[in-house]
A = this chain, B = another copy of it.
Amino acid sequence: MGKIICKQCDFKSAAARTLSEMELDGLESGCAKTNFKPGEIIIKQNALSTNVAYLKSGLAKVHFSDPMKERIMRIVKAPTYVGLPSNFGNKVNQFSVTALENCSVCFLDLAAFKKFIFENGDFAYNIILEMSKNELKNFHNCLNNSQKQTTGRIADAVLFFYKEIYERPAFTLPISRHDLGNLAGTTRENASRVLTQLHNEGIIRISGKKVAILNEKLLQQISEKG
């Protein structure tokens, strides 16, 4: 693994782009870059959140992992910070984050990060911006899950992978049926059933984990109506 040079990093967050060369040197000294393979745990629930995690590249799932009630909250795609609310709102991580693809993550020193907030208003503002947008996403996500029924939520998830993650109408699901069901708040059986149903209606084409959106408009309608 090569030396980390934050100054020359091409994946800087909006906040980090406001930092001066000197500040970036400071960031670098407390920064550890780590790579993760699919299935590896990036952030472990209930561990002390002493570092800010910045997902530089890759795809990961954010999930609440209690023995009895595992639940995938959302899928996150680089570049993004993960777990900022835990960093600031609590001493321990409120959830786990697990890699779905190869991920490259920078763990930043929390104290240095706080220092930037105190000393660089532009940096602080950009963090507030990112947190605000994330919260609104969660808000709508939560709303959707509580108001739609299973078919609509699975349609939602498929559209999410299409629009937010892969940005093209044909892709390979990065998760199993079990996890897809969990993400949509249902069981693997129902997730599977809904996918075949949408397939049979010609709205999507499913082959294993490969998905192709055939009738986006209709899928959108299903997502919205129920």
A interface residues, Cβ below 8 angstroms from B: 64, 69, 71, 73, 84-90, 94-95, 114, 117-122, 124-125, 127-129, 131-136, 138-143, 145-147, 185
Contact = CB atoms under 8 A, between A and B. Distances in A.
A125 B139 CA distance: 23
Contacts of A119: 121
Contacts of A131: 85, 128, 131-132, 135
A138 to B, nearest CB: 6
Count the copies. Answer: 2
Given A124-B128, A125-B114, A147-B69, A135 B136 contact: no
Given A64-B143, A143-B64, A118 B128 contact: no
A25 to B, nearest CB: 20
Mostly, the A contact residues are: helix
Contacts of A124: 117-118, 121, 124-125, 128
A128 B88 CA distance: 7
A202 to B, nearest CB: 27
A23 B145 CA distance: 43
12 contacts: A73-B139, A85-B132, A86-B132, A89-B132, A90-B133, A118-B124, A118-B125, A119-B121, A120-B121, A124-B128, A128-B131, A146-B146
A85 to B, nearest CB: 4
Contacts of A143: 64, 71, 73
Contacts of A145: 142, 146
A139 B138 contact: yes
B185 A84 contact: no
Given A125-B118, A125-B124, A128-B131, A136 B71 contact: no
A139 B71 contact: no
Given A95-B139, A122-B118, A146 B185 contact: yes
A89 B135 contact: yes
State the 5 A-B residue pairs at the shortest beta-carbon distance, nearest first: A89-B132, A118-B121, A124-B124, A88-B132, A142-B142
